[in-house]
A and B are shown apart, each in its own frame.
Chain A
Amino acid sequence: MTTTGKILSAAVLGAAVAVAGPALAQKTSVSLGMVLEPPNLDPTAGAAAAIDEVVYANLFEGLTRYAEDGSIQPALAESWDISDDGLSYTFHLHEGVTFHDGTEMTAEDVKFSLDRARAEDSTNAQKVLFEGIEAVEVVDPHTVQVNLSQPDGAFLSNMAWGDAVIVAEESAADNATNPVGTGPFKFEDWREGDSVELTRYEDYWGEPVALESATFKFIDDPTAAFSAMMAGDLDAYPSFPAPENMAQFEADPQFKVIEGSTEGEIIMAMNNAREPFDDIRVRKAVAHAIDRQGLIEGAYFGYGTPIGSHLAPQNPAYVDLTEQSAYDPELSRELLAEAGYEEGFETTLKLPPPSYARRGGEILASYLRDVGIEAEIINVEWAQWLQSVFEDTDYDLTVVAHTEPMDINIYARDDYYFNYDSEEFRQIMAELENTADDEARTELLKQAQRKLADDYVNAFLFQLPKLGVAKTDLMGLWQDQPTQANDLTDVHWKE
């Protein structure tokens, strides 16, 4: 071997050892893959799901929080009292909670955070969550009272959103790049374009976490994500971008596949204000033209649950209404003829980038063609989709997943992009907002689902599954995804 050869192989070997080194002692750190990089790390100033996927429950905490099963649990608020009229919530805060900069978290911080989110110049992406708040009062350092303008059954779950986390006045402005929260992990490093690293916060008020550090790596290309898992660069990829690889992971003893539910309803939205979709017979015809199971097989390799209205199947108030729009092309053609479209018609289908939309869109277009509807496919980027479909409602058909939890109320909004306009539905939602009783709420939610199915507002397709993959020994990752998050508080390596 020549001298250069020796130096080269020594260099390669040395580097290989250096790379393999941490892998051997990896029992207290974890490295997770994510598709999108968060634009910043401040959950109170952006809608990007990727922000919450890094910081929710790990770095920042709110008064309440989502648990894995979707229930609302106490977080920074140890307990709360609700006045009889449902207008006033008194939160009792945990004592001894500190921010990562060492300062104590008190009722003043809660007041600051909520007032900031609902302020005139607030850029909170979910400002609507705070709309009902009339005043926030500090009772004593560990008690805060929130007064609402009207009773709101969803208030406690609103406070569990990532957009409602508690921040400190001194650090709030810099949270985008140097987040300071109260969670079990603190911010360590952000290599833009590559990864974010969190480390354990030793003075955490609650149960200490098992992991010493966690790294989120951003790998958007599905092939690269697959290679990174196979090469051992990643320990887990909680929402893997390519369902087609699942079978391969399942067959490999190194890995386990984690299949769970999300709050994402995939729908083919129809512009209810535009001809011919302003005719309920046409919308009904579209709904009956689609074979949901075939769609799930083709677009998502068999993962996913069919839905018949706009509520997640794991929700206790869920009613299965898929039969009401079962696959029936014959009926579909009849309905079209009845509406005056014996010869069918031409329309457009706008598809945003995710694979459920692009792949699913092709399949949907062929189902539609089968009953005589020629849908021209137009692929758009997200920014374009938001502008043309969402903002300007310039579309006929589009496929999208609505991933926010419990978002059935969007159908009651004025000028929302479906252009659905039903006084009856608005009333159900208004009543729901003012109802705190669980049983009554369930009944109203069922009513709401039926109303949407009866009106064939959109073609309700299937519930987006959460498909994750992890090394077999990695325990405690969330299986379901009640909100966009990668909660690491229970994650640990098997002994």
Chain B
Amino acid sequence: MLSFVLKRLVSLTLSLLAASLVIFMVINVVPGDPARFMLGMNAQPEALESLRRELGLDQTLLQRYFSWLQGMLVGEFGTSYTYKVPVSELIGDRLWVSLPLALYALTLSTLIAFPAGIFSAARRNSPTDLSIMGLTQLGIAIPNFWFAMLLVLFFSIILQWFSAGGFPGWDSGFLLALHALTLPAVALALPQASILARVMRSSLLETLGEDFVRTARAKGLTRSQALWRHALRNALIPVLTIIGLQFSFLLAGAIIIENVFFLPGLGRLAFQAIAQRDLIVVQTVIMLLVFAVILITFLVDLAYAAVDPRLRGQRS
């Protein structure tokens, strides 16, 4: 097991290094000078020169790459060109929006998907099953930003129960902050819940056809007893895998929803930083997301290996 972990760690480090190189190259190849963007059309050449020096843009690409890499190793991410505050602080603030939003959406999606999926599987081909499956089809098909606009129209403009967007911050009170994240979380959760409910249903149906369920029925359990006591736990494995995938998607992919609700999240930070050529922020945010995804994959690999000893041999 130890050698397996070590090998996985080496490959993780190599992936991160390769990712950092690709990210750095792509971002620095894109045309657009950060200093010119900041000083605008009336700037004089010497003012631009001073600013470039101040931002460290007068160094060679190689020097900049290594100082960025070196900084990240010691947890020193540099200072944002435009905001003039440490990048780590900027990202930290945004994580406090993006992370709770992703968790909130995931919770909602699970709370909707589990009962819907189980119910459908238990009453396979009944009118309820058909209508639930029809609804999930719709949930997958509806673009979440459009659904978000409908939510705003109904709950913010007509009923005025919620703000149309924005985030008051956690220091304004837990409930108030949660309230502000509710519509975005619902908008994000709907398609995820639809996918999850379908996975739950098919996984459960598959398990219900297994031998051990038949054995359980033969022992005298009713269909629903067999479902709850034996089938459900076994059906959860693929569902949990999907939940893991959805979480990294929600963390990195909420950008459109963040725009609709003007939330100060990670996605919007990266989006604005690209437009403003705040290269250091773009690099670091993308690197962080890559790191999160690679880390989750690494943990999942470890978990599989722990559960199923056969995988250790295969993977190494």
Contact = CB atoms under 8 A, between A and B. Distances in A.
B264 A388 contact: no
Interface in B25-46: 31-34, 36-44, 46
Contact of B268 (A11, A176, A193): A193
A126 to B, nearest CB: 5
B268 to A, nearest CB: 6
A121 B50 contact: yes
Interface in A176-207: 176-177, 191-195
B106 interface: no
A217 interface: yes
A40 B175 contact: no
A39 B51 CA distance: 15
Contacts of A233: 163-166
A233 B166 CA distance: 9
Contacts of A383: 31-34, 36-37, 275-277
A332 interface: no
Given A231-B164, A233-B165, A387 B173 contact: no
A18 B277 CA distance: 39
A40 B90 CA distance: 13
Sort chain A's interface into a size bin. Answer: 35 or more
B51 A123 contact: yes
Contacts of A125: 38-40, 42-43, 47
B1 interface: no
Nearest to A46: B38
A472 to B, nearest CB: 18
A453 B123 CA distance: 78
A230 B43 contact: no
B42 A391 contact: no
A14 B175 contact: yes
B50 A37 contact: no
A414 to B, nearest CB: 12
A444 interface: no
Interface in B156-206: 156-157, 160-167, 169, 173, 175-176, 178-179
Pick from A127, A193, A219 the residue with the most CB of B within 10 Å.
A193
Interface in A322-376: none
Interface stretch (B219-227, B255-263, B294-302): B255-263
Interface of A: 11-12, 14-16, 18-19, 37, 39-40, 46-48, 120-128, 176-177, 191-195, 217-221, 223-224, 227-228, 230-233, 381-384, 386-388, 390-391, 402, 404
Interface of B: 31-34, 36-44, 46-47, 50-51, 54, 82-85, 90, 93-94, 149, 152-153, 156-157, 160-167, 169, 173, 175-176, 178-179, 259-265, 268-269, 272, 275-277
The 4 closest A-B pairs by CB, nearest first: A47-B40, A193-B264, A383-B32, A39-B82
16 contacts: A11-B175, A12-B161, A15-B175, A39-B82, A40-B84, A47-B38, A122-B47, A123-B39, A176-B84, A192-B85, A192-B93, A193-B93, A193-B94, A231-B164, A381-B275, A383-B34
